[in-house]
């Protein structure tokens, strides 16, 4: 019989935790032929006989398939930590942005390895993962963070399944309900964006908040916007590069910029925004002159938004400073990135032009649909269905900007 039982001194329960008590476990040992040779497949330590018999049935079907290659002993015995270390190095370098890879590594180090890192990957069960999620929630982690843990495990284990290190993806069979995220603040309304712009007028925050709340640019895109990509005569600017990730706070001169996250795009400078760009350019010219006259260095980075000496600003400082700016002015708390969500929501509510919103933000249509909580049919919607001209972007943004500034046609 391919399924045998044996007694162990420290049996694991259905969640994969050692109980400290002896008990019976079940092993699967299958002999099969491949290429005229007799081979053996084995997997040990099933908690119940039913699980062992089901695994035997599944494996016999797979082993009879000439295209199936069972994992080697080393591959099947590797721990979750060892597998994830190899996976993030291999998968991350090929498919993830640097910032995303750093985020994945942090989640794995803090919230996965301490709990299941030493468990062989083939022994992971959905029950173990449900216990992990419940433990993280009990510790006070937000639903978003625990959901992020589940997503990383689901993607990584799916790759392990395709590599035949495991037979099924345990993260796909968990039953934990994460619920709706309750810590993401609602985007600002047009009226709130208008008040925010009024409060920022004449401060260093004016251009930064305008680019975030009126155009939906990301922090790195704002801090990486250079004058060479701004055409004041043509009233347009190009979002074609962004500030490199993890820039040192001591950086004064930029060697190179990073590509934008979701594709280059050209955006119009509306009539109410034109004076703001012009004032920003005049301010920087004055700062450059004063510093040079005083013998202090001015760093020529060509940045639209920079420190007074031309050096680049740091995104983390913008995020923290924005929160302080809101608290000081008694504005509802949002993250700086929520200005992007505010722009998307407000433009769509004013115009109903879903396609143009996607082009302005540089998102796929599916991505913007998710951001706007649009339901149904989004899998089939892609950018290839529409090419929005600059004139249409100008019409849509002008309507929104005029609403914010209270301008008349």
219 and 154 both lie in a single domain = no
Q: Which of 164, 163, 77, 58 is nearest to 121 (CA)?
A: 77
What's the total number of domains in the chain? 3
Q: Within this chain, do residues 263 and 358 fall inside the same structural domain, yes or no?
A: yes
pLDDT of amino acid 344: 94
Boundary residue ending a domain (11, 40, 70): 70
The residue out of 46, 70, 94 marking a domain boundary is: 70
Contact 44, 27 (CB under 8 A): yes
For residues 88 and 118, membership in a common domain is answered with: yes
Together in a domain, 44 and 143: no
Least Cα distance to 339 among 188, 196, 183, 190 occurs for: 188
Residues 361 and 272 in one domain: yes
As a whole number of angstroms, the distance between CA 76 and CA 117 comes to 15
Confirm whether 183 is domain-assigned.
no
Beta strand ranges found along 55-122 (DSSP E): none
Distance CA 134, CA 297 (A): 55
Residues 39, 263: Cα–Cα separation, whole Å: 51
**Domain match, 263 and 372 both:** yes
Asked if 190 contacts 198 with a C-beta cutoff of 8 angstroms, the reply is no
Q: Does residue 226 sit in the same domain as residue 131?
A: no
Residue 185 lies in a domain: no
Query: Which residues, 6 or more positions from 350, have their beta carbon under 8 angstroms from its beta carbon?
Result: 190, 399, 400, 403
- Whether residue 304 contacts residue 230, with contact meaning beta carbons closer than 8 Å, is answered with yes
Cβ neighbours of residue 131 under 8 Å, at least 6 residues apart? 15, 17
- Assess if residue 287 is contained within a domain: yes
Beta bridge partners of 226: 303
So what's the pLDDT on residue 381?
Answer: 40
Residues 197 and 167 in one domain: no
Name the residue range of residue 40's domain. 3-70
Q: Is residue 184 part of a domain?
A: no
C-alpha span between 239 and 265 (Å, rounded): 5
Q: Identify the pLDDT of residue 181.
A: 55
Contact 27, 42 (CB under 8 A): yes
Q: Contact, 87 vs 61, CB < 8 A? A: no
Distance CA 241, CA 223 (A): 10
User: Does an H or E element contain 236, and which?
Assistant: strand 236-239
Q: Is residue 139 part of a domain?
A: yes
Rounded distance, CA 25 to CA 35, Å? 32
The residue written with tokens 């007074």 in the block is 308
How far is residue 173's CA from residue 45's CA, in Å, rounded to a whole number?
20
Quote the DSSP letter at residue 303: B
Average pLDDT along the chain: 87
Helix axes 338-351, 190-200, angle to 10 degrees: 130
Low-confidence spans in the chain with pLDDT less than 50 = 375, 377-387, 408-409
CA–CA gap between residue 248 and residue 149 (Å, rounded): 28
Residues 140 and 228 placed together within one structural domain of the fold? no
Round to whole Å and give the CA distance between 153 and 161. 12
Assess if residue 23 is contained within a domain: yes
Task: Decide which of 13, 43, 70 is a domain's last residue.
Answer: 70
In a domain, 168, yes or no: yes
Q: What CATH number is given to the structural domain containing 292?
A: 1.10.443.10
**Would you state the pLDDT for residue 386?**
41
Are 124 and 161 found together in one domain? yes
Burial of residue 302 (number of CB atoms within 10 Å: 0-12, 13-18, 19+): middle
Q: Tokens standing for 301?
A: 């980075």
Residue 363's pLDDT is what? 72
Pair (267, 368) in one structural domain: yes
Question: For residue 134, what is the domain's CATH number?
Answer: 1.10.150.130
Among residues 106, 9, 89, 5, which one has the least CA distance to residue 51? Answer: 5
Going by C-beta distance under 8 Å and a sequence separation of 6 or more, which residues neighbour residue 69? 164
Q: Which tokens go with 182?
A: 């309750």
Q: Quick one: pLDDT at residue 326? A: 97
Q: Is the dihedral of CA 377, 382, 387, 390 positive or negative?
A: positive
Together in a domain, 234 and 109: no
Q: What is the CA 396 to chain-centroid distance, rounded?
A: 28
Retrieve residue 75's tokens.
Answer: 């591959």
Hey, what are 329's tokens?
């002015």
Residue 32 is assigned to a structural domain of this protein: yes
């Amino acid at each position: 019989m391919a399924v045998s039982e044996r007694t162990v001194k420290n049996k694991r329960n259905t969640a994969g935790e050692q109980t400290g008590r002896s008990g019976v476990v079940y092993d699967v040992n299958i002999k099969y032929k491949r290429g005229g040779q007799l081979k053996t497949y084995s997997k040990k330590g099933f908690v119940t006989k039913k699980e062992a018999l089901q695994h035997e049935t599944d494996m016999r079907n797979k082993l009879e398939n000439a295209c199936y290659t069972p994992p080697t002993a080393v591959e099947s015995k590797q721990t979750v930590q060892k597998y994830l270390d190899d996976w993030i190095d291999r998968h991350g370098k090929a498919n993830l942005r640097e910032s995303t890879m750093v985020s994945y590594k942090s989640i794995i180090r803090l919230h996965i390895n301490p709990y299941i890192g030493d468990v062989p990957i083939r022994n992971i069960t959905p029950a173990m993962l449900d216990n992990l999620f419940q433990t993280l929630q009990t510790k006070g982690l937000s639903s978003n963070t625990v959901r992020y843990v589940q997503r990383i495990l689901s993607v990584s284990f799916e790759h392990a399944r395709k590599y035949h290190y495991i037979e099924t993806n345990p993260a796909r069979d968990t039953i934990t309900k994460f619920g709706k995220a309750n810590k993401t603040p609602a985007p600002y309304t047009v009226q709130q964006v208008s008040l925010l712009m009024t409060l920022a007028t004449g401060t260093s925050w004016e251009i930064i908040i305008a680019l975030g709340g009126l155009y939906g640019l990301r922090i790195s895109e704002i801090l990486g916007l250079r004058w060479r990509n701004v055409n004041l005569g043509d009233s347009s600017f190009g979002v074609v590069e962004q500030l490199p990730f993890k820039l040192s706070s001591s950086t004064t001169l930029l060697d190179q910029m990073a590509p934008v996250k979701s594709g280059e795009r050209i955006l119009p400078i509306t009539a109410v925004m034109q004076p703001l760009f012009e004032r920003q350019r005049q301010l920087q010219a004055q700062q450059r002159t004063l510093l040079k006259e005083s013998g202090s260095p001015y760093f020529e980075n060509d940045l639209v938004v920079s420190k007074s000496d031309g050096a680049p600003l740091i995104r983390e400082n913008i995020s923290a400073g924005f929160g302080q700016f809101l608290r000081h002015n008694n504005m509802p708390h949002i993250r700086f990135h929520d200005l992007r969500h505010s722009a998307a929501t407000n433009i769509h509510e004013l115009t109903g032009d879903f396609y143009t919103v996607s082009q302005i933000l540089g998102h796929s249509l599916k991505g913007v649909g998710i951001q706007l909580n649009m339901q149904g049919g989004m899998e089939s919607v892609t950018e290839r269905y529409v090419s929005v001209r600059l004139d249409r972007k100008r019409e849509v943004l002008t309507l929104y900007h005029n609403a914010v500034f209270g301008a008349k046609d």
